Amino acid sequence: MPRTFVWHRSRGPQHTEPNTLTTGMVKITQVKSGIGQTARMRATLQAIGLRNHQSSVVKKDSAALRGQILRVRHLVKVTPIAEGKE
C-alpha cells in the first residue's frame, strides 16, 4: 500500500505551549486562517466560535475545550485571563 501522507519536519508548529488547564476563563484568538485546512479543523473552529482570522472568543476552560484546542493548536493562540477581565 503506498503512503498517502508524508510528515515533514518543517511543516506545522515549531513550538506549542503546554496544555495547562486553568480553573477560570481563557481567551482564544485565531492567528491563522482555516482556508486550506481539513473540513474537520474548520468545523472545530466554528464550534469554538471563531468565525474568521484574528477573531477572539472568551470561554470557560474545560477538558472538552482543551480537546478542541488541541485539534487546531497550530491555528489558535490561547491565553488565560484574570477573573473579572474580558
Taking only the tens place, the pLDDT of each residue in 8-65 is 666 666 665 666 667 789 999 999 999 999 999 999 999 999 999 899 999 999 989 9
Per-residue pLDDT, 82: 79
CATH of region 25-81, choose from 3.30.1390.20, 3.50.50.60, 1.20.140.90, 3.90.1560.10: 3.30.1390.20
The pTM of this model reads: 0.73
First to last CA, the chain: 51
Mean pLDDT of all residues belonging to the chain: 83
Query: 49-80, pLDDT tens digit by residue?
Result: 999 989 999 999 998 999 999 999 999 999 98
- Domains of the chain, residue spans: 25-81
Characterize the bridge pairing of strands 56-60 and 76-81.
Answer: unpaired
Per-residue pLDDT, 20: 63
